[in-house]
Amino acid sequence: MSDISIDIEDVTVAYNGKVALHSASLQLDAGTICGLVGMNGAGKSTLFKAIMGFVKSVTGRVLINGLPIRRVQKNSLVAYVPQSEEVDWHFPVSVYDVVMMGRYGYMNFLRTPRSEDKRVVRESLERVEMWHMRDRQIGELSGGQKKRAFFARALAQKGTVLLLDEPFAGVDIKTEKMMIDLLIALRELGHTILISTHDLASITTFCNQVVLINRSILAYGDTSEVFTEENLSRTFGGSIGDLSLAKSQLAQQY
Amino acid sequence: MDLIQWFAAPLQHEFMIKAILVSALVGVVCSALSCYMTLKGWALMGDAVSHAVMPGVVIAYVLNIPFAIGAFVFGVGSVVAIGFIKSKTRVKEDTVIGLVFTGFFAFGLVLISKVKSSIDLTHILFGNVLGISDSDIIQTIIIAVITLVTLAVLKKDLILFCFDATHARSIGLNITFLYYVLLSLLSLTAVAGLQTVGIILVVAMLVTPGATAYLLSDSFDHMIWIAMASGVFSSVMGTYISYHIDGSTGGCIVVLQTLLFIMAMIFAPKHGLLARSKNLQAASE
């Protein structure tokens, strides 16, 4: 289990000349759940986009399982679940259609599902307890159900690397717990998961590694070593006072 | 007997048979594409491209090549120009679209007024399906076949592109290719629609049937069939009505499409105004 799954070296990203992420380097082994922690605007989403090749990095390179990202994407190996604000919830697709989209990479050019694809879609929907909702138009779902549907799509993709950007934002506790259990099961299969979250309290319960980010990577490694008050206060702008405030706000939120 | 007569009388003229068949075909093609236009939010783009093809049509006439080729070059060219100006300046996208397509259109107007040709400006602006030539019919059929085959083959990829381009990219689909496919189809169908209803109204053909169907269905497959049915119905009935009242064919077709939209807006079983207010009442009780 010592294969490097996500290998980022010296990645710098700038938007209109303004640096959003400076010289980020990160190696994650297969079989890891890594929490990505930082303030809003600290470059979490930028890091995800840089890994996916959606933003051009000024310097550096990204390898997934030793391969460049384009090759990996062609094999559907990386499942990326962005924040859900951009989704057009009125689009005429059903939950089942959305999850089936996770299988397109395995299909012929007409995207005709085979029995294997149908089986995987059903299994994925059952794992998030959404099979009975499969015919619903996606706009008819609650917040937690929407997140579960898109999570099911990531599961159906059967990638070995999952990138989840704020999957717990606005979801109920039951959904969060279900997703965490599924992530732990995936880690046991040797999958690698990078997950950004504001829920600092739950990180220690399922992330064996953390990355602290504030426009550059401040620290990363085993949760027990890196997830310290001192490191967190650096991540959240210097004062412990702000951190406790952030924590109490989180406590109110959940 | 009167009704049969109403439908049969125009069919005694060969030009009416041609007009009805061509309008129906254009109705099918534009309506199929209109589903993608409305879902992708490309209505303004459709308006821009349909106006921007005008100089291409005139130049194609001068060079004696098919209209569709000239229109295609200028349609795609206008969008490339829009993309270029948007990325290189601070001007907002809707402003850029507005200035580029009117610029192209104005250039087309100048060309028509100065180039000696038998092109009739009113035919381009308002369509001339009653006087459509055989070569134009063949061109429309070719455009229809290309568009319908492409939409059928790439259907799922295009839906995914419209719905979630990020996911499409993340599983390795070439979204630049899909973008230009949709854009090319838009330019081609704009030419087809141009002959029936003219440049000014062609955007209606590329938007209204999709919008009507969008209100009536939550499934893409239903949506595209409803759009095509409403498009064909409007085209055929519009052509008939224009014959009987001796009015503008393009005008009649688009007025019918708009009426269908208004009916869907009011009476649609789930997303119509009546259903919505009923739901609100039920919710407040």
Residues A225-239: tens digit of each pLDDT: 888 888 888 888 764
Please give, rounded to a whole number of angstroms, the shortest distance from the CA of B86 to a CA of chain A: 14
Mean pLDDT confidence for B88-103: 93
Q: Domain range for residue B35? A: 21-284
Q: Is residue B173 part of a domain?
A: yes
Q: For B42-82, write each residue's pLDDT tens digit.
A: 999 999 999 999 999 889 888 988 888 998 899 999 989 99
Write the single-letter amino acid at A147: K
For the range B116-120, what are the long-range contacts, defined as Cβ-Cβ under 8 Å and sequence gap of 24 or more? Answer: B117/B58, B117/B61, B117/B62, B119/B57, B119/B58, B119/B61
Nearest to B263 by CA among B243, B242, B233: B233
Total domain count for chain B? 1
- The reply to whether B11 falls in a domain is no
For chain A, percent of residues with pLDDT exceeding 70: 93
Tell me what percent of the residues of chain A surpass a pLDDT of 90. 66
Using the 8-state DSSP alphabet, how is residue A129 labeled? T
Q: What pLDDT is recorded for position A240?
A: 45
Q: What is the pLDDT of residues A48-87, one digit of tens each?
A: 999 999 998 888 999 999 999 999 999 999 999 998 777 8
Residue A123: how many other CB atoms lie within 10 Å = 13
B58 CA: distance to closest CA in chain A (Å):
38
Prediction ipTM score: 0.90
Contacts of B262 (CB under 8 A, 6+ apart): none
- CA-to-CA dists, residue B276 to A90, A135, B222, B262, angstroms: 15, 21, 21, 15
A109 interfaces chain B, CB cutoff of 8 Å: yes
Which range has the worst mean pLDDT, B17-31, B102-116, B219-233? B102-116
Mean pLDDT of chain A: 89
Predicted pLDDT of residue A84: 76
Chain A to chain B Cβ contacts (< 8 Å)? 63
Would you call B252 exposed, middle or buried from its count of C-beta atoms within 10 A (0-12, 13-18, 19+)? buried
- Return the CATH number at B270: 1.10.3470.10
Would you state the pLDDT for residue B15?
93
* CA dist., res. B2 & res. B221, Å (int): 37
* Residues of chain A found within 8 Å of residue B170, distances taken between Cβ atoms: 52, 73, 78-80
pLDDT at residue A231, rounded to an integer: 85
Contact B172 A73 (CB under 8 A): yes
Determine the distance in angstroms separating the CA of B231 from the nearest CA of chain A, rounded to an integer. Answer: 19
Look at residue A241 and tell me whether its pLDDT is greater than 60.
no
A125 neighbors A150 (Cβ within 8 angstroms): no
pLDDT in tens, A194-233: 999 888 888 889 999 999 999 999 889 898 888 888 888 8
> Residue A97: pLDDT above 90?
yes
Domain-located, residue B7: no
Residue B183's nearest CA partner among B86, B22, B42, B27 is B42
* C-alpha to C-alpha distance for B37 and B246, rounded to whole angstroms: 32
Contact yes or no for A73 and B217 at CB 8 A? no
pLDDT at A1: 41
Any CB–CB contact under 8 A between A91 and chain B? yes
Q: What is the pLDDT of residues B235-267, one digit of tens each?
A: 999 999 999 999 999 999 999 999 999 999 999
Average pLDDT over residues B196-212: 92
Residue B16 lies in a domain: no
What pLDDT shows up at residue B140?
93
Residues 6 or more apart in contact with residue B32 via CB below 8 angstroms? B147, B148, B151, B224, B227, B228
* Residue A41: pLDDT band with limits 50, 70, 90: confident
Within a domain: B2:
no
DSSP 3-state assignment of A244? helix
Q: Higher confidence at residue B30 or residue B64?
A: B30
**Strand ranges across the sheet with A78-81:** A78-81, A161-165, A192-196, A32-37, A209-213, A217-222
Note whether residue B37 is domain-resident. Answer: yes
- Write the pLDDT tens digit of every residue in A100-117: 999 999 999 999 999 999
| Distance (Å) from the alpha carbon of A213 to chain B's nearest alpha carbon | 24
Alpha carbon distance B285, B283 (integer Å): 6
3-state SS of chain B? CHHHHHHHHHHHCHHHHHHHHHHHHHHHHHHHHHHHHHHHCCHHHHHHHHHHCHHHHHHHHHHCCCHHHHHHHHHHHHHHHHHHHHHHCCCCHHHHHHHHHHHHHHHHHHHHHHCCCCCCHHHHHHCCHHHCCHHHHHHHHHHHHHHHHHHHHCHHHHHHHHHCHHHHHHCCCCHHHHHHHHHHHHHHHHHHHHHHHCHHHHHHHHHHHHHHHHHHCCCHHHHHHHHHHHHHHHHHHHHHHHHHHCCCHHHHHHHHHHHHHHHHHHHCCCCCHHHHHHHHHHHHC
Model pLDDT, residue A201: 84
Domains of chain A: 1-77+160-177+190-254 (3.40.50.300), 89-158 (no CATH)
Q: Which pair of tokens denotes residue A149? A: 């549907």
**Could B163 and A102 be called an inter-chain contact, meaning their C-beta atoms sit closer than 8 Å?**
no
Look at residue B6 and tell me if it is in a domain: no
Contact B75, B53 (CB under 8 A): yes
In the structure, what pLDDT confidence band is assigned to residue A254 with cuts at 50, 70 and 90? very low
B247 occurs within a structural domain: yes
Largest CA distance in chain A: 57
Indicate whether A6 pLDDT > 50: yes
A14: which strand partners? Answer: A19
Burial class, A84, CB count within 10 angstroms (exposed 0-12 / middle 13-18 / buried 19+): middle
Taking residues B27-46, report their average pLDDT: 95
What is the reported pTM? 0.91
